[in-house]
Amino acid sequence: MKEIIKDDQHLHHWLDMARERISFQGLPARICWVGLEWRQKLGLAFNEMVRSGEVSAPIVIGRDHLDSGSVASPNRETEAMARWF
């Protein structure tokens, strides 16, 4: 992530702090909210990591909100998006 998003020092600090302070909780899962400009680049990078064998676990890129209760509304622009499950 830091190799792809090189200029975001806030993100780098957060990633370093999370690695040091958040203990392993069972699954090797992480969550990261990134801006629209990085989603495509990260998706392509994740695909390459899987293709090369660097990562073997599934990677999910989803849409979500930090506090979904505050934005749950049938009139929201994302409520009409297709659900693939």
Query: Is 32 considered catalytic here?
Result: yes
Catalytic residue chosen out of the listed positions 4, 29, 32, 49: 32
Name the residue type at position 20.
E
Q: What is the torsional sign of CA 77, 80, 81, 85? A: positive
Residue pair 71/65 in contact by the 8 Å Cβ criterion: yes
Token pair in block for residue 76:
């929201």
Residues assigned a catalytic role:
32
